[in-house]
Amino acid sequence: MTKAKKRRSKTRKKKKKENFEKFFQLLTLSFILIGIIFGGFIFYKKIYKPSKIPSQTELEEAIFAINQFISHFFLKLKLEEDQWEETIVYKHLKGIKYPFIEIKVKKTKDISWLYLKENFISLCKQKYISLRFNDFSQKKCEIYIAYKNIITHHLTFYSPKKKPLLAIIVDDLGYDLTVVKQLLDLNLDLNYSILPFLPYTEEIAEWLHLVNAEILLHLPMEAKGHPHLNHQPGILLLNMSPLALKTQLKNDIKAVPYIKGVNNHMGSKFTQDTKAMFLVLSEIKKYRLYFVDSFTTPKSVAYKVAKKIGLPTVKADLFLDNNQDILSIKKRLKQLAYLAKTQGSALGICHPYLTTLLVLKEELPQLAKDFEFVTISDFLFNRTILEK
């Protein structure tokens, strides 16, 4: 082999070696970055031998500095006192007594896991402090903080379990103003369904609109077996022509301002008729409203037809006060709460009866501790997310 060939061969070998070293460096860096992103790595400024134990004073000062960092970080997150819980246990290590601090934190929706991680990684800039992330997931993140390899803090950030959703519609409004004020005093997200063309229809709607309450049109529909009930103002009857139905519906919608949706009043006969419901629900869809099937009869096709035409819809789970006895209403309310617990959400309908108001005033504030009261708009949004 000539000298020139030997030189070229050495050059190629040298380049191969350099390329391999670069590749190995990049591979190592990639693994480090993956570890930083997904957790499980311990970040050290320097690795200390276990024998190098700090003095008690030094360790206490380090713990105090870490506490200050955590306090400032919690202030930045705008955490309330009830969002975190601290427990202190004293530990001993080779004659040194020091506090081991455990903190459990409820993570709110606006705090991202990445933001948490980035901020705690910045803590490593302080001398001798190291971190370890454990169980880094969408629901929980554990952070261990150590000073010179002595773990002093254990923080657990977790997403609190969502409360079951309860939606309650109060039907038959329009006759009386005082009952609406009593309901608003509960300071909960209730839903108010107003009948058209009654003495206080517009006034109640205006009043509720001022406090951003959810308003529905309580649309009268033909009942079965009760002809005396089928004379209410604004009622839709099966013997009406398609044009008459559309005109009446238009007038009913105009009669109750600020509505977000519609639910049927009575309708045990009307809601069984697929053709009539298709016409009415198609018109409601044009107004960009939702429809609640009050389910006044198990033979109702309203919910199925609404789903078929793509109209936002939901079906009531139960009526709270078909029997106006206080004990009966309480029992039905417990049934509604049980449904919400088992299926994640539940929708009940009630009326502005005196006994119903008494039960709502007594029971709803207690239920609000374990359930989230929502508008029908939010209820539909959550149902849509679950169905996806």
pLDDT in the model for residue 347 = 98
Structure tokens of 266? 């009575």
Q: Are strands 214-221 and 165-173 parallel, antiparallel or unpaired?
A: unpaired
Q: Are 314 and 379 in contact (CB under 8 A)?
A: yes
| Residues facing residue 129 across a β-bridge | 147
Q: Look at residue 30 in the predicted model and tell me its pLDDT.
A: 52
CATH 3.20.20.370 positions along the chain are 165-387
What is the model's pLDDT at position 44?
39
Amino acid occupying residue 331 = K
- Please give the full DSSP string across 303-362, using - where no structure is assigned: HHHHHHHT--EEE--EES-SS--HHHHHHHHHHHHHHHHHHSEEEEEE---HHHHHHHHH
Q: Cα(122)–Cα(183) distance, rounded to whole angstroms? A: 50
pLDDT of residue 45: 42
Task: Quote the pLDDT of residue 164.
Answer: 94
pTM to 2 decimal places: 0.66
What was the pLDDT predicted at 36?
43
**20 vs 311: CA distance, rounded Å:** 62
Select from 131, 75, 62, 143 the least CA-distant residue to 103: 143
* 165 token code pair: 């959703």
Residue ranges of the chain assigned to CATH 3.30.460: 52-158
Q: Is the CATH code 3.30.530.20 the one for domain 165-387?
A: no
Distance CA 222, CA 218 (A): 13
CA 197 → CA 81, 223, 264, 265, distances in Å? Answer: 50, 19, 15, 14
| pLDDT value of residue 21 | 55
Is residue 300 a contact partner of residue 293, using CB atoms and an 8 Å limit? Answer: yes
pLDDT at position 8 is: 52
Please give the structure tokens belonging to residue 366. Answer: 């207690």
Residues 6+ apart with CB under 8 A from 279: 242, 245, 246
SS3 label, residue 382: helix
Q: Are 129 and 77 in contact (CB under 8 A)?
A: no
Query: Tens-digit pLDDT profile for the chain (388 aa)?
Result: 555 544 555 555 555 555 545 554 554 445 444 444 444 444 434 434 444 789 989 999 999 999 999 999 988 888 888 888 999 999 998 888 999 999 999 887 777 778 888 888 888 788 888 888 886 666 788 999 999 989 999 999 888 778 899 999 999 999 999 999 999 999 999 999 999 999 999 999 999 999 999 999 999 999 998 888 899 999 999 999 999 999 999 999 999 999 999 999 999 999 999 999 999 999 999 999 999 999 999 999 999 999 999 999 999 999 999 999 999 999 999 999 999 999 999 999 999 999 999 999 999 999 999 999 999 999 998 876 445 4
379, burial (CB in 10 Å: exposed 0-12, middle 13-18, buried 19+): buried
CATH class label, 52-158: alpha beta
